């Protein structure tokens, strides 16, 4: 059965729903390329962890939603090639009709299919994998399984980063983080949850990540100047939560 698609608007923001009150994506109509929802901005903290001059080049996105992440990367990183896997054709149609998803097959490879099957059956390597796949019941299903995270690891390059949107409201956050940690040999960092109840987990493959919070702030300022995205509040929350021992983020 196809996923029911609902579109709502309030105070200049357009929202995507899958037949329920859960918000699956949002776009400020006057700024369609910006990341409206806090958790989508925090998923982009992955951009601070590698050399911005050369990374990333190939990105895999599991779950399209309102195409927020896809549009942000497409607009601000012109050398990036994006592969987007979305299981519901109607979500793709809604993203094009209501959320300004670009049609550019040279840079955006749009795959209608199951994200788990894609990572299991594909031998391509990606620098960055972004996982944000939920159904109308706010369930991520097999996208939150140990096997899926292990497959994601095999799909990452030696500069690879995995960024996953997790929900704290379903009571399974600790279990989800444990599965990612097991798949990535404990190379995982969970951010303090956003006000929306979303928590972002980052995991790394290949070359180690070791960056001071001071340098992280410097890179965040560079990213803000280049793209308008402000990750300083995210870094401040990391610091308050003492998530980085000795002021060093290590993955």
For the chain, which residues make up each domain, given as ranges?
Answer: 6-205
Candidate ranges 16-25, 161-170, 183-192; pick with highest mean pLDDT: 183-192
pLDDT for 160-179, tens place per residue?
A: 999 999 976 666 788 999 99
pLDDT reading at 143 higher than 80: yes
Q: Which CATH superfamily is domain 6-205 in?
A: Vaccinia Virus protein VP39 (3.40.50.150)
Question: Residues in the chain, how many?
Answer: 251
Contact between 87 and 114 under an 8 Å Cβ cutoff? The reply is yes
What's the rounded Cα separation, in Å, for the pair 25 and 75?
A: 18
pLDDT reading at 48 higher than 60: yes
Contact between 206 and 160 under an 8 Å Cβ cutoff? The reply is yes
Q: For residue 242, what pLDDT band results from cuts at 50, 70 and 90? A: confident
Q: What is the pLDDT of residue 241?
A: 82
Which position has the higher pLDDT, 110 or 142? 110
Helix pair angle (213-227, 232-240), 10° resolution: 160
Q: For residue 138, what pLDDT band results from cuts at 50, 70 and 90? A: low
pLDDT reading at 192 higher than 80: yes
Q: If we measure between CA atoms, which residue out of 134, 152, 147 comes closest to residue 39? A: 134
Phi, psi dihedrals of residue 190, rounded to the nearest 5°:
-100, 125
Residue 11's CB: how many other CB atoms inside 10 A?
5
What's the rounded Cα separation, in Å, for the pair 127 and 205?
A: 9
Q: If we measure between CA atoms, which residue out of 244, 128, 246 comes closest to residue 191? A: 244
Q: If we measure between CA atoms, which residue out of 9, 2, 44, 43 comes closest to residue 23? A: 9
Query: 231-239 contacts: CB < 8 A, separation 24 or more?
Result: 231/41, 231/42, 231/44, 231/45, 231/48, 234/41, 234/42, 234/45, 234/191, 237/191, 237/192, 238/191, 238/192, 238/213, 239/213
Averaged over 149-163, what is the pLDDT? 97
């Amino acid at each position: 059965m196809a996923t029911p698609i609902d579109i709502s608007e309030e105070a200049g923001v357009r929202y995507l729903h899958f037949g329920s009150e859960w918000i699956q994506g949002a776009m400020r109509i006057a700024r369609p390329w910006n990341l409206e929802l806090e958790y989508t901005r925090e998923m982009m903290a992955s951009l601070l962890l590698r050399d911005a001059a050369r990374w990333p080049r190939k990105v895999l996105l599991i779950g399209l939603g309102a195409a927020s992440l896809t549009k942000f990367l497409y607009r601000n990183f012109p050398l990036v090639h994006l592969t987007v896997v979305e299981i519901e054709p109607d979500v793709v149609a809604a993203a094009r009709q209501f959320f300004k998803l670009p049609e550019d097959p040279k840079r955006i490879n749009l795959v209608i299919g199951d994200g788990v099957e894609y990572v299991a059956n594909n031998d391509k390597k990606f620098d960055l994998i972004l996982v944000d796949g939920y159904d109308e019941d706010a369930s991520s299903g097999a996208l939150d399984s140990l096997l899926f995270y292990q497959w994601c690891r095999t799909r990452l390059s030696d500069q690879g980063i995995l960024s996953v949107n997790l929900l704290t409201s379903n009571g399974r956050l600790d279990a989800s983080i444990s599965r990612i940690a097991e798949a990535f040999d404990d190379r995982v960092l969970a951010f303090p949850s956003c006000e929306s109840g979303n928590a972002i987990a980052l995991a790394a493959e290949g070359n180690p990540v070791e960056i001071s919070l001071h340098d992280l702030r410097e890179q965040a300022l560079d990213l803000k100047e280049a793209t308008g995205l402000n990750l300083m509040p995210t870094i401040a929350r990391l610091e308050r939560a003492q998530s980085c021992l000795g002021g060093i983020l290590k993955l």
